[in-house]
Every structure is written in structure tokens, then in C-alpha cells.
Amino acid sequence: MNHYLDDTQKSKRLYERAKHVFPAGVAYFVRHMEPYPFYTVKAKGSKLVDVDGNEYIDFWMGHFALILGHSPPTIMKQVKRQIEKGTHYGTCHELEITLAEQAAKMVPSAEMVRFTNSGTEAVMYTIRLARSYTKREKIAKLEGGWHGGYDALHVAVKPPLNLAQSSGLTEGAMKDTVVLPFNDINRVEKAMRREKFAAVVVEPVLGAGGCIPAEKEFLKALRELCSENGALLVFDEVITGFRLATGGAQQFFNVLPDLTVLGKILGGGFPVGAITGPREIMEFMDPLLYERPKFSFHGGTFCANPVTMTAGLAMLRALENGEIISRLNRRGDKMRQELADVFERRSLSVQVVGVGSLFHTHFTDEEIKDVHAVFRADREKLRQYHMYLTANGVFLLTAKMGALSAAHNEQDVDKLLSETENFTKELRRCY
Ligand SMILES: Cc1ncc(COP(=O)(O)O)c(C=O)c1O
């Protein structure tokens, strides 16, 4: 750990500067780390290089957006060409149609598409659309689900779940949101008997909530309950879209939602979000068909800008035949097992969780089925583990899950395993 301080002196100075202009010294608190973050100057393939010249194998991968790794040549070439032709037309252009067609071809439940600039925006407009379509106000979300900072969904993310996740959320914004337990269909069923919902929003794999896949039976039953209730089932596939399968979690679990929210990978490394679903629902965003007050607004200055569309198209075309995703999923299965073996050899109670190319470790002997178990685990040990890895050239954002990308090679994974092994030796010495 001490050598992190020795090796990152320029980062330390940048952090001192940053503290004057950013609350908490960072542009987004999720990127905060102790004692201070390193500052990146270059990213290529599986590696980040910081301002002091240190190299890190990156398993955070741009908030899981970069499934091909940093700056993949296939995307970079096309983006550079597009930039020469314009970065932001503010008019209609062919690329937006082509990317929407490509997304609709790959995502089973997607017939029509609208682009946004972030996952948060896409979720926000999806909720509005669901309310417009169903003419209901109440919505439901699952415990531990993270859907971005939109008021109505910024509840019950991290325990204690009954404590506001942020100040500034009004009672008015909260009163129409009901929180349902994750992976507990009996309790969900009871709650759904009591209310009529416009939408039930779920991450098929809890991301920020601990990298916990929904049980397939849970998702299937949730699908049925939503149909009975008349609620739209919304999959937030901002992380799982184009990662678990070419058609995302809905293809992987074989459960179709009514509406799907996309983001991250879809942008090919540029800011993006998308709302997708069947024509019957999506057309509520068409003011030529639905006049006020029925019309459901969506829009934004940079929506479908040609740079994001170019990058996204190159990304989806690279993933379309499924080879990269299948390979990553197989590697993920193997790597989670190998990580679990490392902890087991030292008789440490650690749950290695995840699915496909996503992984996480929780320091507990309890089976991890929901966010409560994640927060009952030893979070301090997890923080020490991730700090140890970072100080030794393997970057996982503190206490967050990790993701494999196509740019990671065997040596990168071996380094994660060997540094984990080294950490477990230190841990044994200290405890
Ligand atoms: C599942 C999920 N939904 C929505 C969001 C919000 O997306 P963005 O950060 O692009 O606004 C995130 C971001 O991490 C996410 O993980």
C-alpha cells in the first residue's frame, strides 16, 4: 500500500487541485478512492496508464461500457473518419437509423428505439412512457437496483434501504415508487396484489447492488405477475445489454420484458442510452399520433449524435455474431472458479459471484442472493482487497464489481489471480 503513495505523487498533486473545484475532489463520487485516485493519461486495450507512468490492468473498463477494451482500433478508425465529417449535426442522419435497426435486430424485445445520452435519461423517459401508456402513476423497483440518479428510482439502492439515498428527493417524487424484494417472488407477489403499477423496473443482474444475477425462475414469475397486473416489465439492461448475450439478459434468461433500457456498450465508448420496445408502446412518443395530453415527451440536444452512432454501430457489428460474448462468458466462468479456489486454499470465507463476464467478491460465508447479504459482508476487507490490487497494478474500482473485456489476455487474468493470492497471504499474516 505504501508504494501506492510513493508511486503516485503527481496524482496526489492533481487531487489537491481537484479538491478546489470538485465536491469530494472528483467528477463523480463513484470514482473516489482512498487515499486519492490515480489520474489517467492514456488507455489502450486492457491497460490504463496514469500521470506518474504506472500501468494498471483495468477491470472497471469505463463503468463496464468497454467490452472490446480501451480504444479498440475497429471503432477508433471509424470514429476518426466521422469526426472529420462533423461531430454533432443536430439534424436527422442515416447513421441513427442504422444503429437503431442494428439494436432492434439484436435485442429480442426491441422493435423501435429512441436514443438518449445516458442510462439515467433513458430510464427516466422509459418510466414516463410506461405511465403514458398504462395511464397509471405508481411504479415498482427492486431492492438494490441502481438505475442512475433519476429521483423516482433513486430509492432502496444501498442499505439501510429506508434511509434516503440522497437529499433533495421530495416526498412527491417518492410517493409513487414501491420497493420490491429481489429474488423473493412470494413477497413480490403479495405486494403486486395490492397495487396496480405502470412499470416494474428490474436489473436482470444487480450491478451496483453486488453483481447478483436474478434467478431465472424469479424473472419468469415476475414476467407473469406483470402481465396479470397490467404493469409493463422494464429490464434495465444498461450493464447486461450486449454483454450477457448479443440480445442481452432477456436472451440469456429467455424472459422478454415489455420495455428495455440500454446504455454503456451501445455507445461504443461514447455517451449513450436508449429506450426500446414494441411499436404499440413506443409510439406514445409520437406527437403526430398522440396529441397532448397523451403524448409522452423524449428528446435532448445530443441525442443520436453521429459520433456516438458511429461508435455504437462499430461496437454492435463487432459483437453481432456472438463469438466475443461467448468467449468472454466462458472465461468469466473459469475465472470466477479460479478466484474462488484462491480464497478457498486459504480457508477464507469469500463468495465469488457474478455471471458471464461480470464478477465480484464478497467477504462472507453467507450465500449472496440480495443486497442485504452484500452489505452484511465485510466491506472493509473488500475495500482493502481492491486497494491492494490497485496498488499492485490491477484496477477494480473500490468495492465495485469487475468485468472482462475482449482486450484482456491470459496474463491479465493470471495477474489478477496472483495478486489476489498475494493479498490472501497478507490477510492471513494480519488476522
Ligand atoms: C443498471 C444501470 N442503469 C442505469 C445506469 C445509469 O446510467 P448512466 O450512468 O449512463 O446515467 C447505470 C449506471 O451505472 C446502471 O448500471
Which pLDDT tens digits describe the chain residue by residue (431 residues)? 579 999 999 999 999 999 999 999 999 999 999 999 999 999 999 999 999 999 999 999 999 999 999 999 999 999 999 999 999 999 999 999 999 999 999 999 999 999 999 999 999 999 999 999 999 999 999 999 999 999 999 999 999 999 999 999 999 999 999 999 999 999 999 999 999 999 999 999 999 999 999 999 999 999 999 999 999 999 999 999 999 999 999 999 999 999 999 999 999 999 999 999 999 999 999 999 999 999 999 999 999 999 999 999 999 999 999 999 999 999 999 999 999 999 999 999 999 999 999 999 999 999 999 999 999 999 999 999 999 999 999 999 999 999 999 999 999 999 999 999 999 998 866 65
User: How much is the pLDDT for 386?
Assistant: 97
**Residues facing residue 358 across a β-bridge:** 355, 403
Gap between the Cα atoms of 93 and 69, Å rounded: 28
Number of structural domains the chain divides into: 2
Is the Cβ atom of 263 under 6 angstroms away from ligand 1? yes
Instruction: Mark whether 173 and 261 lie in a shared domain.
Output: yes
- Asked whether residue 380 is assigned to any structural domain, the reply reads yes
Residue 374 near residue 368, CB atoms below 8 Å? yes
Give distance in angstroms: CA of 237 to centre of ligand 1: 9
The domain boundary, picked from 319, 336, 353, lies at: 319
Give distance in angstroms: CA of 248 to centre of ligand 1: 15
User: How much is the pLDDT for 426?
Assistant: 87
Ligand 1 pocket test, pick from 147, 244, 397 with the greatest ligand atom count within 8 Å of Cβ, gives 147
Specify the residue with its C-alpha closest to ligand 1, atom 4.
147
Instruction: Mark whether 315 and 353 lie in a shared domain.
Output: no
Specify the residue with its C-alpha closest to ligand 1, atom 13.
148
- Domain extent at residue 175: 73-319
The domain boundary, picked from 319, 347, 376, lies at: 319
User: How much is the pLDDT for 430?
Assistant: 60
Instruction: Mark whether 156 and 81 lie in a shared domain.
Output: yes
- Asked whether residue 33 is assigned to any structural domain, the reply reads yes
- Asked whether residue 20 is assigned to any structural domain, the reply reads yes
Q: Can you give the pTM of this predicted structure?
A: 0.98
Is the Cβ atom of 260 under 6 angstroms away from ligand 1? no
Give distance in angstroms: CA of 264 to centre of ligand 1: 8
Is the Cβ atom of 238 under 6 angstroms away from ligand 1? yes
Instruction: Mark whether 225 and 291 lie in a shared domain.
Output: yes
Ligand 1 pocket test, pick from 244, 264, 265, 360 with the greatest ligand atom count within 8 Å of Cβ, gives 264
